[in-house]
Amino acid sequence: MRALDFNNKWVLVTGASSGLGYEMAQQLAHQHHANLIIAARRADKLHQLKADLEHDANVQVKVIVADLSVPEDVERLISGCLNGQELYAAVLNAGITHFGPHAELSQHAFELLVQTNVISVVRLTGELVKHFEQTRSEGGIMIVSSMAGIFPVPYQAAYSGTKSFLIGFANALAHEIQSRVLSLTIFAPGGIVTEMTATEQFNDLQSWLMPVRQAAKEGIYALKTRKFNYVPGAINRVGNVFMKLLPKKMIISILAKTYQRSLSKVNKKGKIQ
């Protein structure tokens, strides 16, 4: 398949109000001249982003305020994407995490996490694939997973589980797609400097985090060139290969100690109860 060309095409970006989604929307508009459908929970941030991009990048922007933990909002997002413009590509980026002992994660919070990270993504992906195949139109879909889905991270156990599910789901689904002009990409970054990691719990882990601008650039590259599974960052890619040669239990044990130290320092300061 030829590479995607986003110029004057409509691209959906979920989780666009901050972090990786926000930066990908910026780069898609300014550098690739894409028209955007931006979705997230925070209406004020989305409308500000729309105003900025339409003024500075001279592109069209459609706002859909949606909480992907709410099934009705997911259905409204699907309808808004597939009606009113010809969708060309989608970046399914929205996600939430819990950083801390799994025992401290309430059932309600766990269900919100699964609905946002898994159920909404499966629903969106299924409907988008169906749309592209029925219309026989060219396009690409990118699911944002995480290296935590490849090497599970203690103290982010539920989050790791959701991201692992996405990798398994997308790898399998990709081989069911019949269209020769539709690609499904799995993007698995490590930690990124975003609002999600801008907490004291992550203070000792900051040196591991990739700048959001770099992660966004590589994500767009992976989508554009129709990569299948893509880990951004040369160090991450080398580490991903190297870690596969080591016992998984040992790697997870090292991660556990690192994350536990970071949490312990915050606990000692009385920031976490």
Full set of structural domains in the chain with CATH? 10-268 (3.40.50.720)
Least confident window among 143-152, 200-209, 245-254: 200-209
List alpha helices for 175-244, DSSP H: 212-224, 234-243
Mean pLDDT, the chain, integer = 88
* 47 phi, psi to nearest 5 deg: -70, -30
Separation of alpha carbons 59 and 33, rounded Å: 7
Per-residue model confidence as pLDDT tens digits over 85-135: 999 999 999 999 988 899 999 999 999 999 999 999 999 999 999 999 999
Q: What is the pLDDT of residue 151?
A: 86
How is residue 141 written in tokens?
Answer: 């879909």
Active site residues: 159, 163
Using DSSP's 3-state secondary structure scheme, residue 211 falls into coil
Confidence (pLDDT) at 99: 85
Assess whether pLDDT exceeds 60 at residue 199. Answer: no
Q: Which two tokens stand for residue 122?
A: 């499966």
Whether residue 38 contacts residue 64, with contact meaning beta carbons closer than 8 Å, is answered with yes
Collect contacts of 204-213 with beta carbons under 8 A, ≥24 apart.
Answer: 204/258, 204/261, 204/262, 204/265, 205/258, 205/259, 205/262, 210/236, 212/19, 212/20, 212/23, 213/23, 213/27
- pLDDT digit string (tens) for 164-181? 999 999 999 999 999 999
Mean pLDDT confidence for 184-203: 69
pLDDT at 240 exceeding the cut of 50: yes
Give the pLDDT of residue 192.
82
3-state secondary structure 125-180: HHHHHHHHHHHCCCEEEEEECCHHHCCCCCCCHHHHHHHHHHHHHHHHHHCCCCCC
pTM of the model: 0.86
Write down the pLDDT at residue 198: 46
Q: What is the distance between the alpha carbons of residues 210 and 191, in angstroms, rounded to a whole number?
A: 6
pLDDT of residue 39: 98
Per-residue pLDDT band at 194 (split at 50, 70, 90): low
Q: What percent of the chain has pLDDT over 90?
A: 73
Q: Which residues contact 63 (CB under 8 A, 6 or more apart)?
A: 38, 39, 43, 46, 47, 50
